[in-house]
């Protein structure tokens, strides 16, 4: 999973979404709302086709799922499920790009504790504050917060709901992605001279699973070859880390 920056929608598309949301609220108040039917009737319109195109741009040329970052993102996902939260059905901040498998696992699940969602929204926060990565298995796991002496509740819930520690194909993809990044760093280290901008650009182009946030984080810097990069080239390390 990787941190995403939400792009702005064209003003006319935002206006259309606001109009659709207003209609949903009116129908909900009148007790006549069929949110699945309403969504389906709008899904093939230019409005949501444009929304899907912007979501795809947010994920880059590979158009990966915003949850697993391994499979192709095939459709619009509601972070807050539309059946439970129809008041968010047509709100832009509630829309993500999702693959078929993650969509099936998540369904209408939306755990909440103390009034806050327990699922990670990669478009509004850094997932690596709650997740960790195991290079040996390729699995995503919950992050352990040493000061709190506890596993991240949001990380644990997200991993459990999306089964990010049980999907062999996803794990294999993350392992390959990590090896690519590690090989790039080793090649740079072998030259004896590390060019920070060039290294960052090359790593960014190769990072198709959003792992750089982990590699340059507290855990990643303890794992070879990122450990050696941090120790031998601290200025270049900091340069890359601050660009993430």
Burial of 108 (0-12, 13-18, 19+ CB in 10 A): exposed
Q: What does the alpha-carbon distance between residue 55 and residue 125 come to, in Å, rounded to a whole number?
A: 16
In this prediction, residue 192 carries a pLDDT of 87
Per-residue pLDDT of the chain (244 residues; tens, 9 = 90+): 999 999 999 999 999 999 999 999 999 999 999 999 999 999 999 999 999 999 999 998 889 999 999 999 999 999 999 999 999 999 999 999 999 999 999 999 999 999 999 999 999 999 999 999 999 999 999 999 888 899 999 999 999 999 999 999 999 999 999 999 999 999 999 998 899 999 999 999 999 999 999 999 999 999 999 999 999 999 999 999 999 8
Could you tell me the pTM of the whole model? 0.92
Backbone angles phi, psi at 92, to 5 degrees: -55, -45
Hey, how many other C-beta atoms are within 10 angstroms of the C-beta on 201? 13
* pLDDT tens digits along 54-99: 999 999 888 999 999 999 999 999 999 999 999 999 999 999 999 9
The tokens 């280290």 sit on which residue? 189
Give the ranges where 45-140 is alpha helix by DSSP (H).
Answer: 46-59, 100-106
If phi > 0 it is left, if psi is from -120 to 50 it is alpha, else beta; for residue 228 that is alpha
Count H helices, E strands: the chain?
Answer: 10, 8
Domain ranges across the chain: 11-107, 174-243
pLDDT for res 91: 98
Q: Report the distance separating Cα 111 and Cα 210, nearest Å.
A: 24
* Burial class of residue 234, CB neighbours in 10 A (0-12, 13-18, 19+): exposed
Roughly what angle, to the nearest 10 degrees, separates helices 234-243 and 196-206?
Answer: 50
Residue 213 to residue 122: CA distance in whole angstroms? 12
Predicted local distance difference test score (pLDDT) of residue 179:
97
In this prediction, residue 147 carries a pLDDT of 85
């Amino acid at each position: 999973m990787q941190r995403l920056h939400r792009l702005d929608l064209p003003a006319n598309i935002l206006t259309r979404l606001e109009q659709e949301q207003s209609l949903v609220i009116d129908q909900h108040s009148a007790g006549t709302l069929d949110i699945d039917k309403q969504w389906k009737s709008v899904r093939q319109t230019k409005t949501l086709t444009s929304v899907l195109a912007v979501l795809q741009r947010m994920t880059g040329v590979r158009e990966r799922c915003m949850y697993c970052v391994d499979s192709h993102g095939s459709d619009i996902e509601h972070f807050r499920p539309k059946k439970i939260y129809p008041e968010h059905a047509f709100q832009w901040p509630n829309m993500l790009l999702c693959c078929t498998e993650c969509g099936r696992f998540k369904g209408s699940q939306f755990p909440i504790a103390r009034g806050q969602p327990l699922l990670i929204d990669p478009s509004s926060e850094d997932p690596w504050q709650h997740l960790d990565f195991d290079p040996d298995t390729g699995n995503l796991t919950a992050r352990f917060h040493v000061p709190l002496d506890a596993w991240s509740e949001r990380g644990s819930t997200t991993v459990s709901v999306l089964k990010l520690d049980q999907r062999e194909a996803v794990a294999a993809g993350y392992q390959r992605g990590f090896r690519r990044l590690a090989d790039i760093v080793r090649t740079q280290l072998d030259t004896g001279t590390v060019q920070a901008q060039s290294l960052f650009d090359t790593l960014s182009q190769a990072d198709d699973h959003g792992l750089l946030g982990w590699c340059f984080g507290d855990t990643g810097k303890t794992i070879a070859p990122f450990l050696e990069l941090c120790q031998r080239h601290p200025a270049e390390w900091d340069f890359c880390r601050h660009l993430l």
